[in-house]
């Protein structure tokens, strides 16, 4: 045991000086610089300062030493920080905070604008492919599953190579030695003086310069981030307030984007190496680097692209874009040496100049190299402030480029009218295939004819305007001779352009000369009407008027065509033009009652009652048995207080025309005048002639009801229902009579019978619901409404009543169901507008009120206009109210429950639409 202890005693002893672990088994080890320390210590700061003083150099001062007020190691390093200093610092901090709060909004707005501009200029690749990603939403599951994997385009399963190999011992030993180091020198190193590191050049390592270089690199990085680097890059001026916000503006790319950029960079690098003469490849590579924020690399790439593709103007332009203004000028100057015939290069060089004089110099130099460029001439002329200089330039331009129509027209616009004619004649000879020159000649003649010359008579002006028609007609013929065949659509566009430019007579001349081209004889009327309607829809009233005028010359007996022309003049023309169209219309179509009535009404609205009478007298001669003309004459006399004349006209009308409507109007006229006995006598006579006319029974029953003779009124309604069981209004009037007489049960029975005779009628169901509500049976009314909706599922009237019958929280969901079921019925639209009104959503309510009177059919419902006016009275301005009234007067509504009650009241006879609208708005609840 003792001998064993003696054998292991060396483990507690220190190792010999020359002992190397593992040397006996062949491990030699290695020694690193950290084992033996540095070769020589560097000079201290005192030694460096002493050496600089000996050479007469001033100690280098850190430029940022006095920039940070919190770092006082410089100027105030030796002073004592007292309480006064602390109070001063607090005051300065308060001042800084106050100034910063005043500038913060402006600074943040500027920074947000710069950030938005930066993101717009450098969008992410993810944003560029956003539309394609949205397109993936339509990909079906089958299509998605059929997309092959990226790495296996052959759709064949490949066997994986799972072979294994033995690792050589040298790799294992080398990998093990990477983590080992030695802390002693071997014998050979000691013999070769391994503690001394020989220097080949004999110079010393300057660690001061290394530190300064590191500081300089850090400074440049900070300058790049803050955007305030100086030209030399040796000094920085970082804004302490906007530093963090500027860091936020730095685009942070995700790993996916970085991977995309790297892959794209590899692709473009392969592209420019395999095909260095391909200019778009260099441009794309430079744009990629710009997007990645590596402007230096982008400029290097585009510079290489300019060297490889010196004949591509796109590469030079991209290079100019990537550099600042001064460098771009140098780049474009070099570009001119290689591609001196490129107009884009010269224009880009002119755009880089700041003052007009320099731009002119560049453009004139460009014209010396490229005299046949129209664009360069136009840009040069646009820079001229004097019309004389521009005229001289254009004169030279048309000599150099005689085939440029634009230059000829520009020169003609700058010349006097007489000289302009000569210019256009020369242009026509130089370019005989240009229709623009003929149109310009027509416009020039129109300008001369419509100029402010007081000596010209109307006859002279008309003759000069006729020259416009002849010129355009001659131009069309000449163009056909030179095989220039423009389509009708092209000529119509030219006519619309002339109208937009203020030349209506030229527009009309173009229409006259070309509107009949390429049209079959049997399709002419429909085609021309379609052309006029489409032109009016685009706001080109002059073009539409010219098309209709030409069509009326070809088809003067088409009353629908005259009606369209009259409607166009009524909507967009003057009273004189409308009167002229209607006068011609009744001359060519004397049997058209509508045209006579329109003509008489327009004269009446203009206040010319005798002229309206004269028109109606002529209408009587042309249409002696016309019911509408007789009634219009009666209305004209009644509205103007000539009641005796109106009564005589009605008597004559009953003798001459003898229609059921004239008899009914006669009875209503007598009722309005309070002559109930005469009215009843007229109704009795009329019923003997027309027993199937329901309105006669209504008038008779209403007169009896006004006289409180309920039994005879009931008999009148009963006779009417027997003769006309399909007349809904009769059922409603009979029901209201019973309800007025206090017999709700009988009213309910009448409506039930009416619903059996007229199934699926929303008016009868709505009246039944109203009877139940007025009788106090809310539950019965709700049940009746549900039954009505079952029978009339798309009824807007019943759905509207259903919405208001719901509690307030559920009305919105009910309105959504109503809109779906009734297919945007105007009654539902108006109800939704009223719902928004109750919720104080003013703008939405106004929009929905506008939608409720959108179509021509919807505009005829007067109640909607009344609700809208009532809404504007409460929440709108006087301008909004006037607009509603104006639209309602133009629409002239005639229907609606409340509107008809007020309009047909005898007290309101003769009142205007505006007055009726105000009364309806007051009556609505």
Mean pLDDT of the chain: 80
Spatial CB neighbours of 321, under 8 Å, sequence gap ≥ 6: 328
Residue keyed to tokens 């790049």: 224
Helix ranges, 415-487 (H): 417-430, 435-449, 458-481
Give the Cα separation of 602 and 579 in Å (integer). 8
pLDDT tens string 565-602? 888 888 888 888 888 888 888 888 888 888 888 888 88
Residue 487, CB-side half-sphere exposure with 13 Å CA sphere? 3
pLDDT tens string 783-817? 999 999 999 999 999 999 999 989 988 998 999 99
Amino acid 756: pLDDT: 92
**DSSP letters of 556-595?**
TT-HHHHHHHHHHHHHHS-HHHHHHHHHHHHHH-TT-HHH
> Under a CB-based contact definition with an 8 Å cutoff, are residues 761 and 787 in contact?
no
22-26, 145-149, 439-443, range with the lowest pLDDT:
22-26
pLDDT tens string 383-415? 777 777 778 877 888 787 787 777 777 777 777
Amino acid 136: pLDDT: 79
741: tokens are 């007489």
Residue keyed to tokens 């400074």: 219
Q: Is the dihedral of CA 426, 431, 435, 440 positive or negative?
A: negative
Q: Is the dihedral of CA 854, 855, 859, 861 positive or negative?
A: negative
How many other C-beta atoms can be found within 10 angstroms of the C-beta atom of residue 612? Answer: 22
Q: Which residue has the higher pLDDT, 525 or 227?
A: 525
Residue 3 has pLDDT above 80, yes or no: no
Residue 633 has pLDDT above 90, yes or no: no
Q: Which of 427, 441, 446, 435 is nearest to 476 (CA)?
A: 435
Give the Cα separation of 711 and 696 in Å (integer). 17
Give the mean pLDDT of 759-763: 91
Give the mean pLDDT of 875-896: 91
pLDDT-based confidence at residue 200 (cuts at 50, 70, 90): very low
Crossing angle for the helix pair 295-308 and 279-291, to the nearest 10 degrees: 170
> Under a CB-based contact definition with an 8 Å cutoff, are residues 751 and 760 in contact?
no
Q: Which residue has the higher pLDDT, 856 or 827?
A: 827
pLDDT-based confidence at residue 198 (cuts at 50, 70, 90): very low
% of residues, the chain, pLDDT over 70: 82
Quote the DSSP letter at residue 731: H
Give the Cα separation of 664 and 904 in Å (integer). 14
Residue 51 backbone dihedrals phi, psi, to 5 degrees: -65, -40
pLDDT-based confidence at residue 256 (cuts at 50, 70, 90): low
Q: What is the distance between the terminal CA atoms of the chain, rounded to a whole angstrom?
A: 122
Amino acid 49: pLDDT: 78
Helix ranges, 122-206 (H): 125-128, 130-135, 141-145, 169-178, 187-191
Residue 235 has pLDDT above 50, yes or no: no
pLDDT-based confidence at residue 636 (cuts at 50, 70, 90): confident
pLDDT-based confidence at residue 232 (cuts at 50, 70, 90): very low
> Under a CB-based contact definition with an 8 Å cutoff, are residues 331 and 313 in contact?
no
Beta strand spans in 493-568 (E): none
Residue 38 has pLDDT above 70, yes or no: no
Give the mean pLDDT of 602-607: 80
Amino acid 4: pLDDT: 52
Residue 824 has pLDDT above 50, yes or no: yes
Residue 642 has pLDDT above 50, yes or no: yes
420: tokens are 């302009």
217: tokens are 């690199």
Q: Is the dihedral of CA 706, 711, 715, 718 positive or negative?
A: positive
Which residues, in sequence order, are bridge partners of residue 861? 895
Residue 828 has pLDDT above 80, yes or no: yes
Percent helix / strand / coil, the chain, rounded to 5:
70, 0, 30
Amino acid 187: pLDDT: 62
pLDDT-based confidence at residue 651 (cuts at 50, 70, 90): confident
Amino acid 201: pLDDT: 46
Residue 360 has pLDDT above 60, yes or no: yes
Give the mean pLDDT of 665-676: 86
How many other C-beta atoms can be found within 10 angstroms of the C-beta atom of residue 625? Answer: 12
> Under a CB-based contact definition with an 8 Å cutoff, are residues 700 and 690 in contact?
no
29-43, 416-430, 593-607, 870-884, range with the lowest pLDDT:
29-43
Give the Cα separation of 21 and 38 in Å (integer). 25
Give the Cα separation of 54 and 585 in Å (integer). 115
Amino acid 567: pLDDT: 87
113-122, 228-237, 278-287, 508-517, range with the lowest pLDDT:
228-237
Burial of 196 (0-12, 13-18, 19+ CB in 10 A): exposed
> Under a CB-based contact definition with an 8 Å cutoff, are residues 908 and 914 in contact?
no
Spatial CB neighbours of 606, under 8 Å, sequence gap ≥ 6: 575
24-28, 630-634, 668-672, range with the lowest pLDDT:
24-28
Give the Cα separation of 558 and 552 in Å (integer). 8
Amino acid 719: pLDDT: 92
Q: Is the dihedral of CA 185, 191, 195, 198 positive or negative?
A: negative
Crossing angle for the helix pair 575-588 and 559-572, to the nearest 10 degrees: 170
Please tell me which of 500-509, 598-607, 846-855 the model is most confident about, judged by mean pLDDT: 846-855
Residue 883 has pLDDT above 90, yes or no: yes
Residue 879 has pLDDT above 90, yes or no: yes
């Amino acid at each position: 045991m003792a001998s064993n202890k003696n054998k292991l005693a060396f483990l507690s002893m220190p190792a010999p000086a020359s002992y190397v672990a593992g040397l006996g088994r062949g491990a030699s080890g290695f020694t690193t610089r950290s084992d033996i320390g540095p070769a020589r210590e560097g000079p201290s700061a005192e030694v460096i300062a002493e050496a600089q003083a000996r050479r007469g150099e001033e100690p280098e001062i850190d430029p940022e030493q006095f920039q940070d007020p919190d770092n006082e190691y410089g100027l105030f390093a030796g002073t004592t920080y007292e309480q006064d200093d602390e109070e001063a610092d607090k005051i300065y901090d308060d001042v800084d905070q106050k100034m910063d709060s005043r500038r913060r909004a402006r600074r943040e707005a500027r920074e947000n604008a710069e950030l938005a501009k930066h993101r717009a200029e450098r969008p992410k690749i993810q944003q560029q492919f956003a539309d394609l990603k949205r397109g993936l939403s339509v990909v079906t599951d089958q299509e998605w599953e059929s997309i092959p994997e990226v790495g296996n385009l052959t759709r064949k399963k490949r066997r994986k190579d799972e072979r294994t190999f033995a690792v050589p011992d040298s790799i294992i030993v080398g990998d093990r030695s990477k983590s080992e180091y030695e802390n002693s020198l071997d014998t050979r190193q000691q013999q070769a003086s391994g503690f001394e590191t020989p220097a080949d050049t004999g110079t010393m390592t300057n660690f001061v310069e290394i530190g300064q270089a590191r500081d300089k690199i850090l400074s440049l990085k900070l300058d790049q981030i803050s955007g305030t680097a100086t030209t030399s890059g040796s000094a920085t001026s970082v804004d302490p307030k906007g530093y963090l916000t500027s860091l936020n503006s730095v685009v942070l790319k995700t790993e996916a984007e970085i991977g995309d950029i790297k892959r794209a960079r590899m692709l473009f690098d392969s592209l420019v190496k395999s095909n260095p003469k391909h200019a778009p490849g260099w441009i794309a590579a430079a744009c990629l680097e710009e997007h990645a924020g590596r402007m230096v690399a982008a400029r290097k790439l585009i510079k290489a692209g300019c060297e490889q593709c010196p004949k591509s103007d796109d590469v030079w332009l991209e290079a100019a874009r990537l550099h600042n203004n001064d460098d771009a000028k140098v780049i474009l100057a070099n570009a001119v040496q290689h591609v001196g015939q490129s107009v884009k290069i010269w224009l880009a060089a002119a755009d880089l100049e700041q003052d007009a004089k320099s731009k002119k110099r560049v453009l004139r130099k460009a014209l010396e190299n490229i005299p046949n460029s129209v664009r360069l001439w136009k840009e040069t002329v646009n820079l001229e402030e004097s019309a004389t200089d521009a005229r001289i330039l254009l004169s030279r331009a048309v000599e150099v480029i005689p085939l440029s129509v634009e230059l000829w027209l520009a020169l003609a616009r700058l010349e006097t009218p007489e000289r302009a004619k000569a210019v256009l004649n020369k242009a026509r000879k130089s370019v005989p295939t240009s229709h623009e020159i003929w149109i310009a000649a027509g416009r020039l003649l129109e300008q001369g004819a419509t100029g402010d010359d007081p000596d010209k008579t109307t006859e002279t002006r008309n003759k000069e305007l006729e020259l416009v028609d002849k010129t355009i007609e001659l131009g069309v013929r000449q163009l056909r001779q030179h095989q220039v065949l423009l389509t009708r659509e092209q000529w119509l566009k030219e006519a619309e352009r002339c109208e937009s430019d203020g030349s209506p007579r030229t527009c009309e001349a173009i229409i006259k000369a070309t509107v009949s081209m390429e049209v079959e004889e049997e399709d002419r009327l429909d085609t021309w009407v379609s052309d006029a309607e489409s032109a009016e829809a685009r706001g080109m009233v002059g073009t539409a008027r010219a098309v209709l005028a030409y069509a009326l010359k070809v088809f003067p007996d088409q009353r629908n065509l005259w009606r369209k022309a009259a409607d166009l003049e009524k909507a967009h023309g003057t009273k004189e033009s409308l009167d002229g169209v209607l006068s011609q219309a009744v001359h060519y179509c004397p049997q058209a009652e509508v045209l006579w009535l329109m003509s008489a009404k327009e004269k009446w609205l203009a206040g010319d009652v005798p002229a309206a009478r004269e028109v109606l007298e002529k209408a009587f001669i042309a249409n002696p048995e016309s019911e509408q003309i007789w009634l219009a004459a009666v209305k004209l006399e009644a509205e103007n207080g000539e009641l005796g004349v109106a009564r005589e006209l009605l008597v004559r009308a009953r003798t001459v025309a003898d229609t059921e409507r004239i008899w009914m109007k006669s009875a209503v006229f007598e009722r309005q005048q309070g002559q109930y006995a005469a009215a009843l006598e007229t109704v009795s006579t009329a019923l003997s002639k027309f027993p199937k006319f329901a309105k006669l029974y209504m008038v008779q029953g209403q007169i009896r009801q006004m006289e409180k003779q309920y039994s005879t009124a009931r008999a009148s309604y009963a006779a009417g229902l027997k003769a006309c069981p399909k007349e809904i209004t009769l059922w409603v009037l009979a029901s209201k009579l019973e309800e007025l007489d206090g017999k709700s049960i009988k009213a309910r029975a009448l409506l039930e019978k009416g619903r059996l005779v007229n199934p699926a009628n929303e008016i009868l169901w709505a009246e039944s619901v109203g009877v139940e509500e007025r009788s106090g049976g809310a539950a019965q009314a709700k049940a009746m409404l549900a039954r009505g909706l079952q029978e009339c599922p798309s009824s807007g009237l019943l759905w509207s009543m259903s919405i208001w019958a719901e509690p307030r929280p559920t009305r919105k969901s009910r309105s959504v169901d109503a809109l779906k079921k009734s297919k945007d019925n105007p009654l539902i639209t108006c109800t939704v507008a009223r719902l928004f009104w109750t919720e104080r959503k003013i703008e939405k309510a106004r929009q929905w009120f506008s939608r409720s009177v959108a179509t021509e059919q919807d505009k005829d419902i007067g109640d909607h206009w009344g609700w809208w006016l009532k809404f504007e009275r409460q929440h709108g301005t006087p301008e909004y109210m006037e607009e509603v009234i104006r639209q309602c007067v133009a629409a002239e509504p005639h229907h609606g429950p409340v509107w008809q009650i007020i309009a047909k009241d005898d007290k309101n006879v003769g009142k205007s639409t505006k007055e009726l609208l105000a009364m309806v708005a007051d009556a609505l609840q």
